[in-house]
Every structure is written in structure tokens, then in C-alpha cells.
Chain A
């Protein structure tokens, strides 16, 4: 005789969603990193390529859908993580007087909630820093190599054009939306050592989160076997070190290079 099916309400179901959204966010990190690595390309061509990429990211409908899926995953992951963390605490109302958890588990695995909270704060400030400024502020615009002619979103330079409210105007005629200069926003932000330090800290938190999280996600979903699990564990460790490290090198590089 079975009670109601499991999916209705269970810790395990919350864990499946935690793992699913967490692993999806790992995929997102790879994509996000691949785009951002373009910031390492020096000179005008790097600036242009990054800004063209920014146009693509803000206008492509498929990317739009993916970005909403990503926002949703972050929110869902955070709320689910909070619910799970509360249940975790509730199961042991009275603490041990003396405990040596370091003898049986790694620090990251016991502090996913704290690490996640740091990451959430990081994400909010990061979004405010770039995405909000770029989308709702009046961002600088991209010009041709001459330094004056504004560029349209498709990359055409409008000689003698002027920019009004994000549109390129030529002799009173609207030529289309201007290409924003996200590159310069990023570059200027990373001249502030406090912001650089903040970004590095955020990446350290993600690194520690994933040292445990990556392989934990597989375990939560029951994806384990004697052959592949050692590989997943090693891969997770490498992921947790390499991906945040490459992200963190961007602000450091831009601080030093400028």
C-alpha cells in the first residue's frame, strides 16, 4: 500500500531541484566565462568584439529565454537552499558541546548556505554594477576607430551622427539604436581596487561552493557508479578551481592593464 507519490512534498524532491538548478548554473558559468574571456583581447578590436557580443546577448531572443531561465534558477536555487537549510537546522535543535566535524567532512560541504549567501550578495551587486547600469542607465556608446562617429548595433559607423536617448541621429533622421560601450563600463569599474577585491572574493566563494557542490549535485540525483564517480569528483574539483580562477583574472588583468 503506497501513500501519495513522493514528488508532492519531500526533502529529496527539494534536493533534486537544488541539484538540477545548481548543475544548470554550472553550465551557465561556462557560457558566461566564454563570453567574458573576450575582455582579455587588447586594444580597439577587443573593445569592439566585446561590445558586439553585448549587443548579441541583449537582443538575441534565444539568449533572452536562457537569461530568464538563469534568473529563475538562481532565485529557485536560493529559496530552495534556504528552505533546506532551515530543515537542516531543525533536525538538530541541540548542538554538541564538543564536535570535530573536520574529521569526517570538508568545510565547504558544511557551509553551503553561508557560501551561497555570499554568492547571492555578489550576484545582486554584480547585476547592479553592469546589467542595471547598461540597461537602465545612460551608458557610454561605442564609436568607430576615429573616436567620434557612433556605431549602430550592427557595427556600421555613422559619420557626423549624434546620439540622443540611445538612438543615432543624422541630420534629424533616426538611423537606429546605438551600440553601447559595456567594455568601458567594465574597464572603469575595475580601476577601483575595492571592486576588484570584491569580485575576487565572490569567485573564491563560488570556488568553495563548487568544490562540494559539483559532485554533490550528481549524488543528489542518484548519478553514481564505481567507474564514473571518481571522474566526476576530479572534474568537479578542477571545475571549482579553474572556472572561478579565470573569472577572477579578468578584473585583476583589467586593473593592471589599464
Chain B
């Protein structure tokens, strides 16, 4: 079996020294990249070359490199996590590109996700949204009830689990023309709203998490559906409808 031919690529990468400085797109040439390498490995190769030349490497977020932590946040060729669907950037491979391609690599763009450096953004706004209501009260004073002792409809359990697969990557925000966090927030609300354990704080949860998202500067939802298409975990717009419903009910009751 012959080795697949290496790719020669032009990279247009957002470079920005720190939160305050003005950034710009820089152009890099990179040669002989194996189609079997991952996108992040390609960036590792670029960085090794930059370091060898005495230049400052490109900073980007990554951790697990297997699609579960949600760190790798790159806007590649006009889409979050690049051209593939249902994958994170770390699961994107260079075989998705052709020899001679130009690839734009940009950070998530949102007022609520300020740039830290180059391609890294500060996503702590998501943490603060979680803190505003993404929890349940459990009595831990010695008489804890076994979670499995509470019967839950199979359908509800599945739906709650689907919502809970959100990894907080922020692709929904990056994809949305309004930088709205509705898909993320609604997934985090739904994972509790669908379970009996989540009922105690249900009302406050939806009110407080929606408000926190707004306070952070995420935009309103225009229902374009871009988030659902770009979400690596396939979180459904159904969650947003549930959030809208619950917020309305919690507001008037």
C-alpha cells in the first residue's frame, strides 16, 4: 500500500498577543502534511516549525483530544470545528482537505468569549451560567436516597441523558449569528428539567440561568438552527423550545 501524498497548505490564522491588543490574520505555508494526521497534529507540526525558526507558536486550546472535554475551539474555514459534522476539532482529520487548500483558522467570536491569546478564548461565562442554576439539592445528611430508587420514564431518562451530553464547547455560540448561548443553556436546563430530581429548583433554574446568559452578553436566539447543525453532540433545538416554554411558565406563575 502506497503512502498517501502529503498536503501542501496555506494557513490563515488569527494572531493576537493578548486580550487588549489588536489581532490580525497571518499567513503560513505548511508542507507535506499527512492526510491521516489530525487537525490539531497539523497545528502541532506548524508550531514545531515556528519554534525552530525562533517565532512565537500559535496558541490554541485542547485537552482530551478525543471529543469529550470541549476545549478545542477553532472556527475553521467558516464553521466551528471545521467542515465535519458531529465532531470536535480534535476529531477532524486532514483528509477532509485537499492539497493546495487555504484554511482559515479563527477563534470563537462572541462578546461573552473574550480572546485570551491567538485562538484561545475565555469561556468562563459558561461556568457562571452553570453556577446560576445547573445543580440539584440532594440531602446528604445520612439519609441519602438511592437515585435508582426513583422510577423515571425511559423516554425522559433518554432525553435528559441526550441533553447532558453537551460538552460545553461553545460551538453553538460560535456558529450563531447572534452569538447566542441558547443551545448550551437549554441543554443544561433540560438535563435537570426532565428528571424528578430536578423539579425542586426548576423555576429558579430556568429564570436564573437564562438571565445569567444575558448578563454575560450572549445574544437573543433567532431560531436559525445553526447551533444544532454545528453542535458536535447533536443537541436538539427541542431543548431551546423547552427552555422558552419553562421560562414563560416560570415568569407568569
Contact = CB atoms under 8 A, between A and B. Distances in A.
Interface of A: 1-3, 5-7, 10-16, 84, 87-88, 90-101, 103-106, 109-110, 112, 212, 215-216, 219-224, 226
Nearest to B251: A6
30 contacts: A1-B204, A6-B210, A6-B247, A10-B211, A11-B219, A14-B220, A16-B248, A84-B220, A87-B219, A88-B220, A90-B111, A91-B111, A91-B218, A92-B110, A92-B178, A92-B219, A96-B109, A97-B14, A98-B12, A98-B77, A98-B106, A99-B78, A101-B78, A105-B226, A106-B224, A109-B224, A219-B241, A220-B221, A221-B244, A222-B244
A92 B111 contact: yes
B223 A212 contact: yes
A101 B223 contact: no
B79 A220 contact: no
Contacts of B251: 5-7, 13
B109 A95 contact: yes
Interface in B206-253: 206-208, 210-211, 214, 217-226, 229-230, 237-238, 240-248, 250-252
Contacts of A84: 220, 222
Given A92-B110, A97-B25, A220-B244, 11 more contacts: A5-B250, A6-B210, A87-B219, A94-B109, A96-B109, A98-B104, A101-B177, A104-B229, A110-B177, A216-B222, A216-B223
Counting chain A CB atoms within 10 Å of each CB, the highest count among B219, B223, B240, B242 belongs to: B223
B181 to A, nearest CB: 9
Contacts of A1: 204
Counting chain A CB atoms within 10 Å of each CB, the highest count among B208, B218, B220 belongs to: B220
B179 interface: yes
Interface in B85-134: 104, 106, 109-112
A151 to B, nearest CB: 50
A2 B220 contact: no
Contacts of B246: 222
Interface residues of B, number: 52
A100 B219 contact: no
Interface in B141-192: 175, 177-180
Q: Which 3 A-B pairs have the closest CB atoms?
A: A222-B245, A91-B219, A100-B78
A13 to B, nearest CB: 7
A97 B16 CA distance: 14
A199 B162 CA distance: 47
A131 to B, nearest CB: 31
Contacts of A5: 207, 250-251
B97 to A, nearest CB: 14
Contacts of A226: 238
A119 B117 CA distance: 43
Contacts of B62: none
Contacts of A216: 222-223
B220 A97 contact: no
Contact of A93 (B111, B175, B203): B111
A11 B207 CA distance: 12
B117 to A, nearest CB: 15
B210 to A, nearest CB: 6
A11 B78 contact: no
Nearest to A84: B220
Contact of B106 (A12, A16, A97, A220): A97
